[in-house]
Amino acid sequence: MSALGELVLAARRRQGLTQKQLGALLRSPARPDGVWSTYVAQIERGTRVPPDASVVQLAEVLKIDPCRALAAAYQSRARTTTGQRLFALAPLLLLARRLAGPAPQDSGTVLSALLRLGAPDSALARQRLLEVLADLEPLDARRWQLLANALAAARASAGAPAGPAADGR
């Protein structure tokens, strides 16, 4: 099962919906009757990851934070362990950014907020953070730029200012 599949399954069950009922709620101009229950099942099993617009629609219907749903979709699409870990950490970093205030001065403030999380799984959050940071150490300049671009996109989707350019300007 994929990260998105787990998220959708848990939210659908919390809402008390069947796969068929969820599919019927996922209406669009191209699909006025919704999607088939088999498509919902494929998403939950992790054999399909829908496009971003559909992920956002799923999040709205299931009352999930869209940033969390998109991060789960990206994690499900990631082909490397490092990519999967980065996107698994994205919801935690977004939460930490919210806790750090509207305009934290640096990433250290955000990381401090993350480490102060009082949730029962804060030990898991710290472990994920350490694993991801260890994976970042060997990044070459091209991969580091890709990561910086991904972080800027995540900040923009969360409604935060883009911040300084990755090249230091």
- In a domain, residue 162? The reply is no
Look at residue 42 in the predicted model and tell me its pLDDT.
Answer: 96
- In a domain, residue 165? The reply is no
What CATH number corresponds to the domain at position 56?
A: 1.10.260.40
Look at residue 168 in the predicted model and tell me its pLDDT.
Answer: 38
- In a domain, residue 92? The reply is yes
Last residue of a domain, one of 73, 98, 113: 73
- In a domain, residue 168? The reply is no
Can you tell me the distance from the alpha carbon of 64 to that of 60, in angstroms, rounded to the nearest whole number? 6
- In a domain, residue 131? The reply is yes
Question: Tens of pLDDT along the chain (169 residues)?
Answer: 788 999 999 999 999 999 999 999 998 888 888 889 999 999 999 999 999 989 999 999 999 988 888 888 888 888 887 777 777 777 666 665 565 555 555 555 555 554 454 444 556 656 665 655 555 555 566 666 666 676 666 666 655 444 444 333 3
- In a domain, residue 164? The reply is no
Last residue of a domain, one of 23, 47, 73: 73
Last residue of a domain, one of 12, 40, 73: 73
DSSP 120: T
Count: domains in the chain: 2
Tell me which residue range forms the domain holding 129: 78-157
Can you tell me the distance from the alpha carbon of 99 to that of 18, in angstroms, rounded to the nearest whole number? 35
- In a domain, residue 167? The reply is no
Together in a domain, 138 and 123? yes
> Which of 83, 107, 84 has its CA nearest to residue 160?
107
- In a domain, residue 97? The reply is yes
Look at residue 9 in the predicted model and tell me its pLDDT.
Answer: 96
